Structure 1
């Protein structure tokens, strides 16, 4: 018979911890069966000589006996061990003496088959001392656990009342627990983490596999608490590698789960928003470059991004309008992650199999995105596909640079469906140099006549005129004016700037200055 071991919620000592007590060591304990189950929790210590003691147990007890009523009867010995097993006792401790001068083979074999830890004491031992010692330790643990539980509840409730973000709550839970904290959805996708960064990264390596396997045993330190709202489960909170008393850890996890659910109910936060925040944090760290890409790999795996033997395509989307790149990605069945960055752009990282055509799929994504209502002017910028994870940050920065370089000019420029570095030419170079004081001074000097003027429309006309390659028909069409009206505006621009726009070098100088001015304004 296989028994599912029940984990007690109240504080407990493991069998191993009880056997390590000084008073127990004085009795020279020897484990004669069930040595692989010594991490079972001991909820109570019970002294009993009755042969049918199993009916008086509720589970988790360490039973102490001299076996005086079992001596000489193999059947009673076998049934005694089986009854303890059925009652889910934590262990049985047999004091050797008159009844059993040596470990009884029948009881040892039966206990081994049942997986019940059996310990014999080779020296006379006062059971009352062990009972007193264990009970007092359990009561102290229970008091400490309840005190911690109430302290954590008060602290987290205070943070929620003060409007603290959910990350602040998780940081406090990780501090109290002294271990990484992970929040996942029901599919084990990581929504949020807290704790010391290196320890979190260790936990997230191969996260999906270990998340499904961990927590099966009572001593592995993984403690879960379900997250549910209005009767519907939506996630889990996991203490990863908690080293304190398990019951205390369970109380801590419960208090944390209560706080997260309350935070969600009061703030209207959905699990999906947590997933977006986690993805945004990952992509922001990748682009920023402060954290080496290799250290971010566990977070990428935990976010559900395939990373083994993949080709990565970094994209940045500008002006998507009402279109949602993440929705388009799901519709096309493309594996990847999406997040809106702080500057209003949206970063997309595709993860493709080596045999997939990255350019065709990128173009398909861009076309599908622009087909969404109100997204016709969307700009999709891309870097060349990266074969290695370490090259992804540079690719994302390149894609953002390309998107920034054409920002605000997509209507006037004849752009390909997917814009790449080779498509932005001078515009890209100027954007790279926009913070140089000499470039800033040059732009101010060249455009001074228009920048001091009251008519912003002239600057807009100049921008379109130069972006279209000085195409007067196209410029008039884009500004919805007649050709004569456009000529008057161009004459006014030339007069204020003191240049001849028909002269290539002068027009090029003004164009570079305008590109630098626009880049500086962001």
Structure 2
């Protein structure tokens, strides 16, 4: 595929390696010279790109910016005008700092140079002990070269790893995990509205970030600082999201390179996979709702993720829903059409969860019914709902209740007259049997009662029995649903009674067979 080479050519180049003035002054060889900062103490975090030895007053013409200039001042002694011009020349050339070795030319820090450096905001350092400048130059240059090599190596390692994951069809979460592994800090991907689409990193650290997400989101569009590094996501002249390294502790230039490499990979992942920021939002919702349903993660720990995903959580009424036998892709559009805040995720094939977040003064029952009715005009789905919850900690139980209700009526919607919204009170015996389906005695009972039909290679008679009992032994409706005449249905019912050895006109025997069939269907999933 030709996209990957293009991805390689257009990526950002490794940054120029830098050390700060403060880092240079902390080197062991420099400390041996007893350095003293006499001016520009508040500018010691300036980056040092190179070290240069220069004595001429017009030294600025030889610099390109970011140099730490070393001098003994031998050509400046006794000429205050030259001393001042020397400092001004360094300032104009955007030098990082000037280091003056005290000795024969200047036995003490020159006040003229100190004042000029202070006015220009140029860090000025004096060395009180004799110091071979060649050692400092060698030390700094070797560190910068090693730093550049490490940045290039890291860049290629990250690029290779992410490209391999994309080629293998890995999901967004796997790519973010790889970025977090290299950055050693939480990684967050958002859309332009600051809604979180994905996270990675140590769970507790991610939770700390999301807990304060409102403040962080407001600052996300500004200049990153203190290890908060941002990279924009987009292509073809359109931005659609951003990636954040939250609290990166390494070199900032390397962190920016890592963020850019990660951003490139995410854009490529979206292009090759045909996905969108919206589908990433769905993946984020799926992860959140799956964790809520499973109960593996306590609900209170998931609250920051829900808030960062854009779900209103303060003083809300939560309505847990599960939709079966429908098209999950229709749920989000219906929510947006009705203006209902909530999140949607597919839990399994044909099963999706919806969590509505309504204001306390809204009629939860009426809005839930309105949502279900609108959805059922588009598709014949089963909408199961739990009772509304006002506490976030109760949401997982609500989702499990809605899932239980949806599963209890699974496969029977054609035979049952279901309301638009099915609730626990609507599933009656069917719901109880489903709860007990794994009990060995219930399983044995179902096998014993239905043995005469379960051994049949064709399930036609079992299907007829299922419909007949589900419709309340309504022969006309059963014949209609199976597209057979009444006499043909009577023959099938006779065959069922003969094989099972029961009289379906007897209420107790019919009830026993019905319970066994419900248990069998629940066991079969």
Q: Shorter-normalised TM-score: what interval?
A: 0.7 to 0.9
Q: Is the 8 A contact 1:311 1:352 kept in 2?
A: yes
CA contact (8 A) 2:114 2:124 kept: no
SS of the residue corresponding to residue 348 of structure 2 reads: coil
What is the TM-score of this pair, normalised by structure 1? 0.86
Aligned pair 1:426/2:429, yes or no?
Answer: yes
**1:387 alignment partner in structure 2:** 390
* Match in the other structure for 1:261: 267
Q: What is the CA-CA distance between 1:448 and the residue it aligns to?
A: 1.7
> Could you say which residue in structure 2 is the equivalent of 1:110?
119
Check if 1:445 corresponds to 2:451: no
* 1:4 alignment counterpart: none
Q: Distance in 1 between matches of 2:383 and 2:37?
A: 68
| Residue 402 (structure 1) shift | 0.7
- Is the aligned partner of 1:345 residue 2:354? no
1:224 is matched with 230
CA contact (8 A) 1:81 1:110 kept: no
Query: Aligned pair 1:10/2:16, yes or no?
Result: yes
Query: 1:70 Cα deviation (Å)?
Result: 10
* 1:409-488 mapped onto 2 (5 Å cutoff): 409-488=412-491
* Superposition pairs of residues 214-363 of structure 1, within 5 angstroms: 220-321=226-327, 324-363=330-369
* In structure 2, C-alpha distance between the alignment counterparts of 1:396 and 1:454, rounded to whole Å: 38
* Alignment partner of 1:489 out of 488, 492, 500: 492
| Count of aligned pairs between the two proteins | 509
Query: Could you list the runs of 5+ residues in structure 1 that have no partner in the other structure?
Result: 1-6
| Alpha-carbon distance in 2 for matches of 1:452, 1:519 | 18
What is the CA-CA distance between 1:250 and the residue it aligns to? Answer: 2.9
Whether the 8 Å CA contact 1:61–1:91 is kept in 2: the answer is yes
> Which residue number corresponds to residue 199 of structure 2?
193
Instruction: Note the C-alpha offset of 1:41.
Output: 2.5
Shift of 1:54: 5.5
Q: Structure 1 185/365 Cα, relative in aligned 2: closer, same or farther at 3 Å?
A: same
Q: Which structure 2 segments of 5+ residues have no match?
A: 1-12
State the Cα deviation string for residues 269-313 of structure 1 (Å, max 9, x = none): 433333222221221111111122222223222322222332221
Task: Provide closer, same or farther for how the CA distance between residues 399 and 196 of structure 1 changes in structure 2, counting only shifts above 3 A.
Answer: same
Q: Distance in 2 between matches of 1:8 and 1:91?
A: 24
- The two structures have a TM-score, normalised by structure 2, of 0.85
Residue range with higher mean Cα deviation, 205-214 or 424-433? 205-214
Residues 103, 119 of structure 1: alpha-carbon distance in 2 compared, 3 angstrom cutoff = farther
Instruction: Give the structure 1 partner of residue 190 of structure 2.
Output: 184
Residues 390 and 86 of structure 1: is their aligned pair in 2 closer, same or farther, counting only changes over 3 Å?
Answer: farther
Please say if 1:203 is aligned against 2:209: yes
Cα distance, 1:322 vs structure 2:
7.6
- The more displaced of 319-328 and 283-292 is 319-328
Instruction: Give the Å deviation of 1:263.
Output: 3.5
CA distance 1:105–1:13, shift in 2 (3 Å): closer
Residue range with higher mean Cα deviation, 207-216 or 385-394: 207-216
Greater Cα shift, 390-399 or 16-25 = 16-25
| Residues 109 and 126, structure 2, Cα contact 8 Å, conserved in 1 | no
Q: How far apart, in 1, do the equivalents of 2:349 and 2:497 lie? A: 34
Residue number in structure 1 paired with 2:502: 499
Instruction: Quote how far apart the aligned CAs of 1:519 are.
Output: 0.9
Task: Pick which of 481-490 and 296-305 moved more.
Answer: 481-490
Report Cα offsets for 1:418-473 as digits up to 9, x if no partner: 11112211111111111111111111111122222355333223222222222333
Q: Does 1:405 align with 2:408?
A: yes
C-alpha root-mean-square deviation of aligned residues, in Å?
3.3
CA distance in 1, matches of 2:425, 2:412: 17
